[in-house]
Chains A and B, each alone.
Chain A
């Protein structure tokens, strides 16, 4: 009987500590850290993420986190911290992102399992959309780029359905309101573009013209036009 009990306890802990591969760093720029079991690892593209991994971005750093079912990509903005989790339910992967601080942008493929973005005071659950979430100074701001998101305040349990271009703020006091701040979405997208990051076509991080990629290579393009109208480009790359 003792052996059976021991087996049950061991099995319980094995289940608890089982670290399932749930996502991958699909692209990054700058310095990204992964905190796993209290140990900090410097991330690089292709690193596999497991349940409860905390991903941290430093100044001018970005990361694209892609879940293993290819059903969602979470893009982490500079100076942000996120904890990711996922669980398999049949053939789908239910995903959860907890923003500790900063901003993340999520793009979700429809019918690919539940997708939740959580902050200390707010939960946003979606099934196929593209939206931004910022947790800063105890206030959660969510901007819907496209699709529909159900947003629930954890304190008051009040919820609202947010649609494309809506910006919702939620706080520790239980308030959840739509605000008039269209710049929130545009500013973040501009920041993303200025940093040469997070192309929505491929959800990845590429090195654009005149920027620095994670290899430290700068590229400039100079366009030259001949008198006959022929355009030639001179590309200069340097490290």
Chain B
């Protein structure tokens, strides 16, 4: 009511054109100083008696009132501090400070600012809002490139903590508002890295209590993607081969053949367990022969290994080595102990469809059991006991498949074997494996034919004419004892031993070893056994510098380890290889080898062996860009050798000479790589002018990569022009094909080869057309 009355008075005053004149400039609010209202009375008939401020926020409807002056004064200039009122309005988050002022004098004259309808048309002074910098600061982590799910991202809101309205905080991840997964704790916003993609954008916004809207920068963070506990890699290869012989001479009978096969290899890891798989399926698999198809599944863990299928245990060189056992192999591993056992079969039974076809292949199931017990650490020193038992299982075949009766005599088409090997080995590794010592000893019992079965003690004592301390039938599970046994006596005859040292010192890799196998030492489960052999070997590889390598060695072998033969054949080999490749200069390579095979028979023995072979080759080559069209590497080699039979027979005394010339052109403007070479070799027997051999070869190979190496076609040609004992022959081979990489990790290769062999007398002529297709993919 008072306000209406006041307005009426104001209106009357205005319309009466009173003599009260005051000037006032609208307030401009500043944050840099305390704000004041200024008035200057230009004309008045009496003293100013009252100045009243009415103010409000633009968000409010009702005005607040403040008396700036409420007593008469002679002053004509006024200033009033109104910062408190402005702050009061600021807190209301208003955008404008709206006000008007009414001034009156003692004569009752009244004036307002603004003059017309001030209540409805007040001054509107914009409120300068405080601009907050760094409202949101990322304080952890520093590195946003590899965050883990659940890890904290911590954003400080310290600078806005007093004005923060937590309810208005908006966390945006990849332009989507997060509703959960973050907490506000004091002045910190803690965001847990959620399940999300690898690359992410994070931002935060909020409205402050003063109405200001604050937005953070956008932070890019990368999440470390979950790594599956199971990882794997492998490849699948499909292969098809076809060989077709044509135009064959009558004297030869090559069979056309073809093979299709698939090989799958997969290696996986689940936590600390490695899983390995190998599968080979071939069209050559035939029940009338040993198996070609292979399958293997292995589990290797820190404490236990399990190998199923075709697996080569490689326990030691003299017991079980490089022979595939189809069965189960295990290893139990402790800190200083390891026990390995393998059980299965080395060969499978093969029973020919036509048993009476005595030339048909047949085989027993060769059953196998081996074990190795190791004490120590294989990385420092270890000692192992080894055992292997291999035995053909007679019952795996029908008797008629391996035994026939003729002339009241039993004949064996195949003979079943029985073999027991025990041994021990030792390894010592010193100075971070720079010095390695190794040794092994083993002893075997071997029966080359157990088809007749075990002999009774009485039978054997009669046969040997001596009393036996054991019953052969009692030891049958270990070894079948009968007349076909290799003589057994503890000693070198039935033993194998080896020892050696390997050193990696002073840029040298030096190995000195000694190995000896007795004439009666057999191990059916090792692929490395040669009976009655002693070999002393010395091999050294020296790296003089990055450009200069030398390797050399010597080996002495003899075939009469227990001195049971009339004569001993000794083989001595000496070889050396030097390679020198100085930068910017031609490289040099020198090879030398000398072999001698000589026994200790008397010189007039017609069967005496005394042969010496010696060969030396020098090669030099250089890469140059003299040719304007191609970067070229050329090499030339010259070799000279002698083969001499010094025995009484004097079968030959050969001189050998050969020269080779090879070039590789890498063309500058096209992606063509061409190789061209010739080799001319001649061997002449000094003892017989008619005995000469000439081998001349020329080849021309081309590769032309296309489509950024995705397709690599090739064309190769090779011609051999030979002459042996004045009979000349030629062998020409042309092959072409391409390798194609259609997609990453996958390639296919197809090639076709045509070979024609012709001889002067046409007795061994033939043509061969061979095709091959390979598809391989890795994953």
Q: Can you report 8 residue pairs joining A to B where beta carbons are below 8 Å apart? A: A20-B186, A24-B188, A27-B142, A44-B151, A46-B152, A68-B187, A70-B134, A202-B142
Task: Find out whether the CB atom of B141 lies under 8 angstroms from the CB atom of A70.
Answer: no
Assembly CA distance A213 to B137 (angstroms): 24
Q: Mark out the residues of chain A between 188 and 225 whose CB falls within 8 Å of any chain B CB in the assembled complex.
A: 202-207, 213, 215
Given contacts A45-B152, A69-B158, A69-B159, contact A26 B140 (CB under 8 A): yes
Evaluate contact between A69 and B156: CB separation under 8 angstroms. Answer: yes
Question: In this assembly, does A176 line the interface, its C-beta being within 8 Å of a C-beta of chain B?
Answer: no
Residues 49-87 of chain A, each 1 if its beta carbon lies under 8 Å from chain B, else 0: 000000000000000101011100000000000000000
Beta-carbon contact of B151 and A68 below 8 Å:
no
Within 8 A of B (CB), among A19-63: 20-21, 24-27, 44-48
Chain A residues within 8 Å of B, Cβ to Cβ: 20-21, 24-27, 44-48, 64, 66, 68-70, 91, 93, 202-207, 213, 215
B357 interfacial contact with A, CB 8 Å: no
Closest beta carbon of chain A to B633's beta carbon, Å: 14
- Taking the nearest CB of chain A, how far is it from the CB of B624, in angstroms? 14
Out of B142, B153, B154, B190, name the residue touching A64 (CB < 8 Å). B142
Interface residue B707 (Cβ < 8 Å from any Cβ of A): no
Q: When the two chains form their complex, are residues B188 and A66 in contact, meaning their CB atoms are under 8 A apart?
A: no
**Cβ–Cβ < 8 Å partners of A203 in chain B:** 142
A126–B367 Cα distance when bound, in Å, is: 83
Q: Contacts of A48 on B, CB cut-off 8 Å?
A: 152, 154, 185, 188, 190
Is B139's CB within 8 Å of the partner chain A? yes
Determine whether the beta carbon of A27 is less than 8 Å from that of B141.
yes
Is the beta-carbon distance between B186 and A25 smaller than 8 angstroms? no
B537 at the interface (CB under 8 A from A): no
- With contacts A21-B188, A215-B146 taken as known, whether A46 is within 8 angstroms of B159 at the C-beta atoms is no
B405: A residues at CB distance < 8 A: none
CB neighbours (8 Å) of B158 from chain A are: 68-70, 93
Taking CB atoms and an 8 Å cut-off, the chain B residues in 7-34 that contact chain A are none
B154 proximity list for chain A (CB < 8 A): 24, 46, 48
A93: chain B residues within 8 A (beta carbon): 158
Q: How far is the CA of A70 from the CA of B162 in the complex (A)?
A: 17
Contact A70:B142 (CB < 8 A) given known A20-B186, A45-B151: no
Number of CB contacts from chain A to chain B under 8 A: 72
B496 to A: closest C-beta gap in Å: 41
CB atoms of B139 and A26 under 8 A apart: yes
B residues 209-262 near A (Cβ < 8 Å) are 224
Residue of A nearest to B154 (CB): A24
Cα separation A91 to B152 with both chains bound (whole Å): 25
CA distance A64 to B141 in the complex (A): 10
Closest A residue to B188 by CB, please name it: A21
Interfacial chain A residues near B465, Cβ < 8 Å: none
A204 to B139, CA, bound (A): 10
Secondary structure class of chain A's binding surface, majority of residues = loop
- Residues of A contacting B156 in the complex (Cβ-Cβ under 8 angstroms): 24, 68-70
Tell me how far the C-beta of B767 lies from the nearest C-beta in chain A, rounded to whole angstroms.
45
Neighbour of A206 across the interface among B143, B148, B152, CB < 8 A: B143
- Find out whether the CB atom of B153 lies under 8 angstroms from the CB atom of A204: no
Kindly identify, within residues 116 to 170 of chain B, every residue whose CB is under 8 Å from any CB belonging to chain A: 134, 137, 139-143, 146, 148, 151-154, 156, 158-159, 162
Expressed in whole angstroms, the Cα–Cα distance for A215 and B185 within the complex equals 27
Q: Which A residues are in CB contact (< 8 Å) with B188?
A: 21, 24, 48, 68
CA distance A48 to B154 in the complex (A): 8
The reply to whether B143 and A205 form a contact with Cβ atoms under 8 Å apart is yes
Distance, CA A84 to CA B71, complexed state (A): 60
8 closest Cβ contacts across the A-B interface? A204-B142, A46-B152, A24-B140, A21-B186, A26-B140, A69-B158, A27-B142, A70-B137
Which of B143, B153, B187 makes the CB contact (< 8 A) with A21?
B187
The residue on B at minimum CB distance from A239 is: B227
List residues of chain A with CB within 8 A of the CB of B137.
70
Instruction: Pick the residue among B134, B140, B146, B185 that contacts A46 (CB under 8 A).
Output: B140
**Contacting pair A47 B152 (CB below 8 A):** yes
Given that A21-B188, A45-B152, A46-B152 are contacting pairs, would A70 and B139 also be in contact in the complex, using a CB cutoff of 8 Å?
Answer: yes
Most buried by A among B134, B141, B146: B141
Q: With A20-B186, A68-B158, A69-B156 known to touch, is A25 a contact of B140 (CB < 8 Å)?
A: yes
Interface residue count on the B side (C-beta < 8 Å): 23
Residue of A nearest to B148 (CB): A215
**Would A26 and B186 be within 8 Å (CB), given that A45-B151, A46-B151, A68-B156 are in contact?**
no
User: CA A66 – CA B141 in complex, angstroms?
Assistant: 10
- Provide the residues of chain B in CB contact with A47, threshold 8 Å: 152
Interface residues in B336-354 (C-beta closer than 8 Å to A): none
Complex interface residues of chain B between 161 and 211 (CB less than 8 A to chain A): 162, 185-188, 190
A204: B residues at CB distance < 8 A: 141-143
Chain A hits for B143, CB < 8 A: 27, 204-207
Interface pair B142/A46, CB less than 8 Å apart: no
Nearest neighbor of B142 in chain A, beta-carbon distance: A204
Q: Are B142 and A205 in contact (CB under 8 A)?
A: yes
In the assembly, what is the distance between CA of A134 and CA of B412, in Å? 90
Contacts of B139 in A (CB 8 A): 24, 26, 66, 68, 70
* Smallest CB separation, A238 vs chain B (Å): 13
- 447-473 of chain B: CB within 8 A of chain A: none
CA distance A203 to B187 in the complex (A): 21
Residue of B nearest to A90 (CB): B162
| A25, A46, A64, A213: residue with the most chain B Cβ atoms closer than 10 Å | A46
Nearest B residue (CB) for A227: B631
Docked pose: A48 CA to B140 CA in angstroms: 9
A46 and B187 within 8 A (CB): no
**In whole Å, how far is A83's beta carbon from the nearest beta carbon of chain B?**
19
Residues on B with C-beta less than 8 A from A213 are: 146
Q: Which residue on chain B has the smallest CB distance to residue A46?
A: B152
How long is the Cα–Cα vector from A57 to B713 in the complex, in angstroms?
62
Told that A70-B156, A207-B143 touch, could you supply 8 new A-B pairs with CB distance under 8 A? A21-B188, A24-B188, A26-B140, A45-B151, A46-B141, A48-B152, A204-B143, A213-B146
Within 270-323 of B, Cβ neighbours of A (below 8 Å) are at: none
- Distance from A23 Cβ to chain B, minimum over Cβ atoms (Å): 8
Residue of A nearest to B134 (CB): A70
A202 to B142, CA, bound (A): 7
With both beta carbons as reference points, the residue of chain A lying nearest to B157 in the complex is identified as: A68
- Shortest A207–chain B CB gap in Å is 8
In the complex, A203→B142 CA distance in Å? 8
Q: What residues of chain B lie closer than 8 Å to A20, measured between beta carbons?
A: 186
| A69 contact set on B, CB distance < 8 A | 156, 158-159
For A66, the closest partner residue in chain B by CB is B139
A52 to chain B, nearest CB (A): 15
Complex formed: what's the CA distance from A204 to B145 in Å?
13
Q: Given A68-B156, A70-B158, do A45 and B140 touch, yes or no (CB 8 Å)?
A: yes
Considering the chains assembled together, what is the distance between the CA atoms of A202 and B144 in angstroms?
A: 12
In the complex, what residues of A have CB within 8 A of residue B140's CB?
24-27, 45-46, 66
Residues of B within 8 A of A207 (CB): 143
Query: What B residues does A70 contact at CB under 8 A?
Result: 134, 137, 139, 156, 158
- Nearest-neighbour CB distance to chain A for B202, whole angstroms, equals 14
B719–chain A nearest beta-carbon distance, Å: 35
**Contact: B142 with A26, CB < 8 Å?**
yes
Q: How far is the CB of A179 from chain B (nearest CB, A)?
A: 33
User: Chain A: which residue is nearest B144 at the CB level?
Assistant: A204
- Complex CA gap A206/B140 in Å reads 13
**Considering the chains assembled together, what is the distance between the CA atoms of A20 and B162 in angstroms?**
15
Note all chain A residues with C-beta closer than 8 A to B153.
Answer: 46
Inside 8 A of A64's CB, which chain B residues have their CB? 142
Chain B minimum-CB-distance residue to A205: B142
CB contacts (< 8 Å) of A206 on chain B: these are 142-143
Separation in Å of the B695 CB from the closest CB of chain A?
A: 38
A204 CA to B146 CA, complexed, in Å: 14
- Give complex CA distance A21, B188 in Å: 8
Tell me the residues in window 659-684 of chain B with beta carbons closer than 8 Å to chain A beta carbons: none
| A91–B163 CA distance with the chains assembled, in angstroms | 11
Q: Chain B contacts of A24 at CB under 8 A?
A: 139-140, 152, 154, 156, 188
Instruction: Report the minimum CB–CB distance from B186 to chain A (whole Å).
Output: 4
